[in-house]
Structure 1
Amino acid sequence: MPTVLITGASSGIGRSLALVYAQAGYQVFAGGRSQERLSEICSQHSNIETLICDLTEPEALKAASINLPNLDVLILNAGTCEYIDDAKQFDGELFARVINANLTSVGYCLDAWLPLVKSGGNLAITSSSAAFLPLPRAEAYGASKAALTYLARTLSIDLKPNNIHVSVIHPGFVKTPLTDKNSFPMPFLTSTEEAAQAIFKGIKLNKSDIHFPRIFTWLLKTLSLLPFPCWKILASRITH
């Protein structure tokens, strides 16, 4: 039975991914901090096991992972989103919190789990379409996701001799508990089920860049080709 480890599996995209992989016949290790939520998805499929861990605590992470088998797929999906409302009154603690949760924790996960990924296996890291362009109020979130995109692309080069394929995932807006907090319009909002299917298919096809919904992500990619002064004017209009 092929194996997959998914972080952030207690809710949102990660939860839907765990169910999709379980239905596809994988042994799923569902990582998260909520025993209650993870137990609920385990009750739906006998081939899902919980992995209770705090990804920001490297020693606890390694201790929780001691009995894991080798992995066919590793999906580092967990993350958070907080916005900086007033750049002039920059919130350094918020910035550090987001960077720690979204970026530093991925380094701890790679330290603990990348050695378990088999030759011919897949590593996928969830970034965001926010990595394509600098967006208003996204100083912390966008910086963390842009760094993840760079990290994934660098790993794709350095892990090629190990025959490990690396995908970076760039979702648009997906309806999750995190996006439910957003007070602004979210065009082309996608369900977690649709997101999970896109990711599952993209990893299976060894796609380097998994992005969706295409109409939205291609629009952002096109806008990213504009000279920055032009985008700065457009982005200011979004803000005001």
Structure 2
Amino acid sequence: MRSVLITGATSGIGKKLAEDYARLGWQVIACGRNQEKLQQLSSLSTSVHCLQFDLTQREQTLAALSQLPLTPTLWILNAGDCEYIDDGVMDAKLMARVFEINVIGLANAIEGIQPHLSAGHRVAIVGSIASELALPRAEAYGASKAAVAYLANTLRLDWSQREIAVSTIFPGFVATPLTDKNTFNMPMIVTAEQASQRIRHGLERGQDCIYFPRRFTWIIRCLGVLPYSWQHRLIRRFFRT
């Protein structure tokens, strides 16, 4: 029976992935901080096993991941957060909070799962299309996701010798509790159900990089190769903040 571990499984994309993999007969290890939401997930199916811990706490994370109920072959590192910086006014504490979960929390998770990894496993890391183009108010979030993308690309190089695959996931806007607080236009936004389907399909095909929605992420990637002065003018027109 196939098995998967998912971090950030109590909300948004992670929650939908956990539900869908369980529905498809996978053994699912759902990880998160909220015990009540984890219990709700576990009540859906006997194939859902829950681990409660805070990824930003290294020792807590390592302890939780050292005692897995089973060894997955697919690991989806999805947990993350987003905060915006208004008018370009730097807030170092905000920056630290975003990096603490998106980058350091990810590193804690990787350190925790690495003793379990072996040839044939796949580690999927959820980044963002924001890592490929500077966007308004995204100084903290975009920079953290750029670090995530670089980390994933480097791991892909180093782990290839051990036959451990790494997939990087680059979502556009997805309708989740995280984006519900956004007050600006979110072009071509997709549902969590659509995001889960695209991620699962890409991982099943063994894709190294998974972009969705395709049209939106294609536009962002094309803009990302233009001179910076062109990017700035076009982005200001594209995004109305």
Deviation at residue 38 of structure 1 after TM alignment: 1.3
TM-score, normalization by structure 2: 0.96
Deviation at residue 102 of structure 1 after TM alignment: 0.5
Q: Does 1:230 pair with 2:213?
A: no
Deviation at residue 42 of structure 1 after TM alignment: 1.2
Deviation at residue 189 of structure 1 after TM alignment: 1.1
Question: Which residue in 1 is equivalent to 2:2?
Answer: 2
Question: Which residue in 1 is equivalent to 2:78?
Answer: 77
Aligned positions of 1:178-217 closer than 5 A: 178-217=178-217
Deviation at residue 239 of structure 1 after TM alignment: 6.0
Aligned positions of 1:153-168 closer than 5 A: 153-168=153-168
Contact 2:66–2:112 (8 Å) recurs in 1: no
Contact 1:51–1:64 (8 Å) recurs in 2: yes
Q: Please tell me the root mean square deviation across aligned C-alpha atoms, in Å.
A: 1.2
Contact 1:70–1:118 (8 Å) recurs in 2: no
Contact 2:173–2:189 (8 Å) recurs in 1: yes
How many residues are aligned here? 239
Contact 1:73–1:117 (8 Å) recurs in 2: no
Aligned positions of 1:111-150 closer than 5 A: 111-150=111-150
Q: Does 1:90 pair with 2:90?
A: yes
Contact 1:71–1:118 (8 Å) recurs in 2: no
CA deviation string 1:72-106 (max 9, x = no partner): 0111100000000032x310000010011101111
Aligned positions of 1:23-34 closer than 5 A: 23-34=23-34
Contact 1:20–1:200 (8 Å) recurs in 2: no
Contact 2:185–2:240 (8 Å) recurs in 1: no
Structure 1 gap segments, 5+ residues each: none
Give the percent of matched residue pairs that are identical in Structure 1 and Structure 2: 46
| 3-state SS of 1:125 partner | strand
Question: Which residue in 2 is equivalent to 1:51?
Answer: 51
AA matched with 2:82: C
| 3-state SS of 2:51 partner | strand
Structure 2 gap segments, 5+ residues each: none
Deviation at residue 231 of structure 1 after TM alignment: 0.7
Aligned partners of 1:66, 1:159: CA distance in 2, in Å?
A: 20
CA deviation string 1:132-171 (max 9, x = no partner): 1011110000000011111111111111011111100000
Deviation at residue 2 of structure 1 after TM alignment: 2.0
| 3-state SS of 1:159 partner | helix
